Amino acid sequence: MKLGLFPPVFKGRLHDARTATSVGRWLGVAFAVCFVTGLVSHFMQHPPGWLADRVPSRPVWGYRLTQGLHVASGIAAIPLLTAKLWTVYPRLYEWPLVRSVKHALERLSVGVLVAGAVFELATGLLNTAQWYPWPFSFVPVHYAVAWLVIGALLLHVAVKAPEIKAHWGRRSPGTLALPSQDGPDRRSLLAAVGAAVGAVTLTTVGQSFTPLKDFLLFAPRHPDKGPQALPVNRTADAAGVGRITAVEYRLVVAGPHQYTLTLDELRALPQYEVELPIACVEGWSKSARWTGVRVRDLLDRAGAPEHARVRVVSLQSRGGYRVSEMGPEHARDPLTLLALRLNGEELDPDHGYPARLIAPDRPGVLQTKWVGRLEVPA
Ligand SMILES: Nc1nc2c(c(=O)[nH]1)N[C@H]1C(S)=C(S)[C@@H](COP(=O)(O)O)O[C@H]1N2
Ligand SMILES: [Mo]
């Protein structure tokens, strides 16, 4: 390329619409899965009023599946997006920069799409590593930009519909004769991208899909590492919860008939055992055996109405996760426990000793540890 010549000439092949379509449709699938599972996660954590009393507690593995898919599809999208950007980057040098108002808007929407997509994948990936090196609050920003990306993506697909249609099938139509010698190269590129997706998936998905845990390479948390073979997101020390002793511990159940229980009294109530996962929003999940008292039994004794919502309050004095709320589906579920034991032992302090909430189909962040109060509106 001669100096000063603009725009540059791209002699490399595969920077064409057919390659862009081939990679783009898989990227589209990854984004669609990621967006829908992200919405599920958002609404389970922050249900709007009309949903708050209806958040389902079944299937028990529901959130584990959707959040596992959310993180896996986001990670798979990284090599796909990289390949897609490589395919189309010569368009950056398109000249003239803008040909019409429509063209300007189209380029602008692609700019929003690329910037938003890179932002979502980067912040999401760092979130799975529990690393928040930015000044804004992750959840609302990640959520808002997701809408921006999906909007720009739908617009992009609509604008490109004719080209996508022309290149979707196995063979390109005669009207768009492409150099046929590109076929093998394109297949090699797609095979390489497929291999990259397979590799990043295989080496990370074991953090939530435990049968593949032996292949874990890059995942920040291994499902077997942690006290009582269960990972910990925030330790008792990190949460500022001092050692809580059995003697001083009290559980307050505040409802129409408020009462207080000591740990011995809690242990003397009927105990149930359930097998339920902790499914962390940050991408890991692991099933465990929990033993404790049914929350619904505790609520009945306080005279709580059947449809009451419940606030679960931790002894942790500050931090975003010290309180969680639960609608009747979860509060009345026979599997929802105030757990005292984990895998046959007393809870480790890092798992919420002496008592923590465990409920089916619920984001890990809402499985409150070091529970000191259950509150129902009087
Ligand atoms: N009080 C309190 N409960 C909490 C948290 C917390 O920081 N404080 N972290 C939550 C998060 S993000 C997760 S994933 C689970 C993890 O439970 P574990 O440490 O027992 O595996 O606890 C939840 N319960
Ligand atoms: Mo979490």
Lookup: tokens for 57: 């507690």
Distance CA 275, CA 285 (A): 13
CATH 3.20.20.150 assigned to 227-375: no
pLDDT of residue 172: 56
Mean pLDDT of the 11-35 span: 93
**Mean pLDDT over residues 14-24, rounded?**
94
Does the CA dihedral 310-314-318-322 come out positive or negative? negative
Please determine, for residue 268, whether its predicted confidence score (pLDDT) is greater than 90.
yes
DSSP 97-130: S-SSHHHHHHHHHHHHHHHHHHHHHHHHHHHHTT
Mean pLDDT within 138-161: 97
| Position 5 pLDDT exceeds 90 | no
Kindly give the distance from the C-alpha atom of residue 39 to the centroid of ligand 1, in angstroms, as a whole number. 21
The confidence score (pLDDT) of residue 2 equals 47
Q: Which amino acid is at 377?
A: P
The identity of residue 183, as a single letter, is G
Of the candidates 117, 108, 106, which has an alpha carbon nearest to the alpha carbon of residue 84? 117
Better-predicted residue by pLDDT, 201 or 1: 201
Place of tokens 């809580």: 244
Name residue 301's beta-bridge partners. none
- For 71-102, the pLDDT digits (tens) are 999 999 999 999 999 999 999 898 898 999 99
Instruction: Reply yes or no on whether the pLDDT at 180 is more than 90.
Output: no
CA nearest to 289, candidates 234, 351, 350, 239: 351
Mean pLDDT of the chain: 93
CA of 189 to the centre of ligand 2 (A): 37
Distance CA 147, CA 35 (A): 8
337 lines ligand 1 (CB under 6 A): no
User: Where along the chain do its domains lie?
Assistant: 17-215, 227-375
pLDDT for 1: 44
- Per the CB < 8 A criterion, the answer to whether 352 and 298 are in contact is no
- Say how far apart CA 174 and CA 279 lie, in whole Å: 51
Percent of the chain with pLDDT over 70: 95
Full-model pTM: 0.94
Average of pLDDT values for 139-167? Answer: 96
- pLDDT above 60 for 175: no
In which residue are the tokens 């979707």 written?
168
Give me the pLDDT at residue 337, please.
Answer: 98
Query: How far apart are the CA of 323 and the centre of ligand 2, in A?
Result: 14
Q: What is the pLDDT of residues 324-372, one digit of tens each?
A: 999 999 999 999 999 999 999 999 999 999 999 999 999 999 999 999 9
Our answer on whether the CB atom of 239 is closer than 6 Å to any ligand 1 atom is: yes
Q: Which residue has the higher pLDDT, 297 or 283?
A: 297
Tell whether the model's pLDDT for residue 320 goes beyond 90. no
Q: Using alpha carbons only, what angle is made at residue 104 by residues 101 and 108, rounded to the nearest 5 degrees?
A: 140
d(CA 359, CA 335): 6
- Is the distance from the beta carbon of residue 236 to the nearest atom of ligand 1 less than 6 Å? no
63 lines ligand 1 (CB under 6 A): no
Are residues 55 and 330 in contact, defined by beta-carbon separation less than 8 angstroms?
Answer: yes
Confidence of residue 238 (pLDDT cuts 50, 70, 90): very high
